Amino acid sequence: MLVFFNGKFTEMEEVSISPFDRGFQFSDGVYEVIRYYPKKFFEMEAHIDRLKYSLNEMHISFPHLDNIESVLHKLISVNSLTDELSIAYLQITRGHQYPRRHSFNENLPATFFISVEKFPAKTDNMTNGVRVGLEEDIRWLRCDIKSTSLIPNILSSHRAIKKGFSEIIFHRNGTITEGTHTNVCFIKGDLLITPPLNNFILAGITRKVVLSLCHKLGIAFEEKTISISELKDFDEIFLLGTTVEVTPVTEIDGISVNDGKPGPICRLLQNEYRKIYE
């Protein structure tokens, strides 16, 4: 597999990262995952803007990113993925610093890595819906930064799989925030409700696209806080994310949603979202 590492295309086996890289020692880095629909990367500019935001918030000196689209397309081409539904993974860490210290030099050259891989759509989940669980949100207070420090998300995802769930939805002091790797939307009547963006929630690219679709389709939407005590009152619930697109929730923490069936607004948004990349 050919990857992009610190300004050069190279074979994966030839990539060498110092054990003193702060990404390795501290998870001191940020990342993005961009969906590739043959023959185009989806919402490329929005993903790169979010990557720059994360880098700025982390005070990481980042490399030149203006040619990133050509780099990604070359990786897709040389890895024979031109006609395959795929993803690109971009990671930038603060870089190599010796000796190991909590404090850091703001002028360190960043470590920049990109890989691509085939990633089929989760069509069964999108068609039939998924079961999700609830957990207390114990993450740090800057979830708006797409940091590589993901241990709470990883452990929650592992517990979800063991319980037969596809996702865990976090709540902080009884208020819904987001999933381990998704945003979440709720439907009551004809109104779409989603938690407002703040430091507890990542500004999802799919979330932005779906709210734009709501505006286009005349679907009323509101960004407001939602408590876990309200969950039984909603007609539909669905997840939003780069790899899950728009995925209906049929059960949340034992509570059946819409009699265990995907709802009409979710279906409408799925179809309209699909039209964008097709």
Catalytic residues: 146
Distance between CA atoms of residues 17 and 244, nearest Å: 31
95 vs 54, 81, 243, 271, CA distance in Å? 15, 30, 28, 42
Distance between CA atoms of residues 145 and 129, nearest Å: 29
Helix (H) or strand (E) holding 150: none
- Considering only CA atoms, which of 136, 177, 130 is closest in space to residue 156? 136
Residue 67 — φ and ψ, nearest 5°? -100, 15
Residue with tokens 């819409």: 258
Helix (H) or strand (E) holding 210: helix 205-217
Distance of CA 18 to the CA centre of its chain: 27
Rg of the Cα atoms in the chain:
19
Helix (H) or strand (E) holding 171: strand 167-172
Helix (H) or strand (E) holding 167: strand 167-172
| Angle, CA of 218, 220 and 225, to the nearest 5° | 155
| Length, in residues, of the chain | 278
Query: Do the beta carbons of residue 213 and residue 269 sit within 8 Å?
Result: yes
Distance between CA atoms of residues 254 and 232, nearest Å: 10
